[in-house]
Every structure is written in structure tokens, then in C-alpha cells.
Amino acid sequence: MAVRPPPTARCDRCGRPIDEVQVALPCPDCAGPVGISFDSETRPNARRGARVDGLWRYGAALPLRDPNDVVSLGEGDTPVVRLPRWGAAHGMRNVFAKLEYIAPTGSFKDRGTTLVVSRAREIGARELIEDSSGNAGASVAAYAARAGIPAIIFVPAGAPAAKIAQIAATGADVVRVEGPREAVRDAAIEAARSRNAYYVGHNGNPYFEAGTQTFGFEVARWHFGHVMMPVGGGSLFVGGWRGLQRAAAPRAILPRFHLAQPTGCAPIVAAWRRGMGRPVPIERHPTIAGGAEIEHPARGVEILRILTASHGGAVDIHDDAIVAARHELATLEGIDVEPTSALAVAGVIALLRDAVIRSEDRVLIVLTGSGLKVPA
């Protein structure tokens, strides 16, 4: 990975150049999504034998000018394991899990954060601001410490104590905000504007998405028929799909991309059932799957487009089914995940019941966050 010309950020819709400290916000002129253009490999290729571990083996396909700016904790290259006992309990022979929680801070968020913080360091950001229900906050706090950049993390007042403790442990300031998840985001954006800080905004940040594409690079060689994951903001869903498209051989058959949301907050599922192209307003109810509790997902249109393109399915899961799925996976396979991740486990059961997934199909369940985050 050599020094290259710097990436440039522009509105995907109207072409307006965007200041990089605001790259996670919609275009100020037309509210379109911000994209980055960069001289990178279109077909990602892991450098075997390179002197780096994890996802930076794909560095030539990632948008960073200078490899010396990489801020890494060894993220990526998560294991794929077979689930024989859980599969047998549900009549499935070819079900696997990708253990995305085996990551420096215990969730898949580290894939995106390593890109965002590396690029923030490259442009000389003096302070990082993020809003998060927990996992992205813990991830940004850790990578900010690693980079030597101060961070302020805005969290919902009711976020799990273990997650808040994890954020504070690496020295970030934690600001608790009352009210809905959107209020937390608004407070973070306002603070970033007034302090001229770098707003991480992982769900809308194109660098974060570039990092989550490495999930797709890793999955491409496995030839799964189905991929199921929990979706809140959908950063892994969108980035993972784009990464798969980049990494797959020409004319390869890509897996169907399915998603699960908690019944208490399922704007994508509601839109999908009604055949709508954008998320619909919902009445939100409390759920234990806090990581997926996003009422107005900024990438909703892209998520619905991917569901259509990949012939995927979207299901909502009640909290009691989430708890049952977590318990069953833990007791049958020794894998304990947080409730938001157990959504995907319950989601496969639901699609099996609906005959969208058949018992002989090759299925990948994406386990995004560790059970240590939310003790059972």
C-alpha cells in the first residue's frame, strides 16, 4: 500500500464538494448522501504475506492516502464457524456464523472505525464526536485513544451500563442525552458544528462504509446462499453488500441478503411489507435490541434497494423471541451474543418457517456484538 492522491468527498446527487469534517452529514445543498472518490483497486485483493493483519491486508482497496496514517487495533478477519448443534435443532445442515464480535472492542463497528479514525488523523482532526447506543461509541473511543485524538461520545440516557463503562474506560467524555435516539444524534451534530470537531456519524459516514465493505470481501469466497444480519442504521448491511459486489467474480451468484429488526422499532420491515421504497413512520416501543433501535435510518432507501436486488427478506422479532434465541445459541454452541445480535438468529428461524430459507441451504448468520456487552 503506497502513498496515493488524497480521497475527495462530494455529494453523490449534486456533486458539491464536501468539507471532510462534515462527511457524515447529508449534503447541505440538496440533502443527498456524501460519497468519496479515490484511486483504489476496484477488485479487492488480500495481500497474503503482507506485514499487516486483519482488514488492512485489503489496504489497496480502501480510501486512505498514506499507509503511515493507519490507526489499527488488528480488526477484521473474523472467524466463520459451523453451528452443528443449533442447526440440527432446526433441521439445518449448512448453517454458519461469522463471529463479528471477535473484534478489538467486541463489535463489528471496529471495521468502520479503523477507516474513519485513520482518515480523521490524516486530515488533522483535533477532536472526534460520535453518537451511539453503545458499540460505535466504544469503538470510536478506543480508536481515538489509539490515535491520540480526544473524543466526546453522546449516548442515550438509558444505554446499557457496561457499554457506557467501556466508552469511558479509554478516556472519552460521555454525554448522556434524554429522549429518542434522534435527540442524541442532533446533540452530537450540534456539538460538532460549534466546536469544529470531526463528526464520526457512523451510519452516514462513507469512510465507515468503506471499512464495512471488508466484511463483504471476506465473505465472498464462501459462496453462501443466504446472509442474515440485524439492522438498525444498516452500515454493515449496505457496506457488506457493496463489498461483496466488488469482491465477487464476474457473474457470480451473490447470496440473498436478509435482515431482522426488533418489533418495537422496525421501520425497514414495515416498508418492505408494504412494498415501499423508503422507511415508513412507525410507533416506536422499547426493545432490548437497543443497537437496532433507529426510527429513521438514513440509509433506508439503500437498504430496501439491496433487499430487492438480492431477493432478500425482512422480518421483525419480538423481544421474547430474541431472548430465547440468545439462550438457545449460547447453550447449544457456547456462543453468547448481545440481544441485538440474537435478532439474526431468530430471523433465520422466522425465514425457515416462511420457507424463504430451506433446510439444505448454505446460511450465514452474522453475530455483530459480544454477549459481554449486555450480560444475560
Q: How far apart are CA 196 and CA 356, in angstroms?
A: 48
- C-alpha grid cell, residue 184: 442524541
The strand order across the sheet containing 151-156 reads 173-177, 151-156, 128-131, 198-199
Nearer to Zn ion, 19 or 29 (CB): 29
**Nearest distance, CB of residue 33 and Zn ion, angstroms:** 9
Q: Which residues of 80-90 are buried (b: 16+ CB within 10 A; e: fewer)?
A: eeebeebbeeb
What is the contact surface with Zn ion in residues (CB under 5 A)?
Answer: 11, 13-14, 16, 27, 29-30, 32
Cα separation, 113 vs 144, in Å, equals 9
C-beta closer to Zn ion: residue 14 or 88: 14
What's the min distance (Å) between Cβ of 15 and Zn ion?
A: 7
What does the alpha-carbon distance between residue 78 and residue 341 come to, in Å, rounded to a whole number?
15
DSSP 211-256: HHHHHHHHHGGG--SEEEEE-SS-HHHHHHHHHHHHHSPTTPPPPE
Please state the closest distance from residue 34 (CB atom) to Zn ion, in A: 8
Q: Which is nearer to Zn ion, 9 or 219 (CB)?
A: 9
Question: Smallest gap, in angstroms, from Cβ of residue 12 to Zn ion?
Answer: 8
Nearer Cβ to Zn ion (209/336): 209
β-partners of residue 229 are: 259
Query: Minimum CB separation from Zn ion for residue 298, in Å?
Result: 15
29 vs 360 by CB, closer to Zn ion: 29
Nearest approach, Cβ of 18 to Zn ion (angstroms)? 8
**Residue 49: Cβ within 10 Å count:** 6
> How far, in Å, CA of 138 to CA of 164, rounded?
8
Closer residue to Zn ion in complex, CB, 189/260: 189
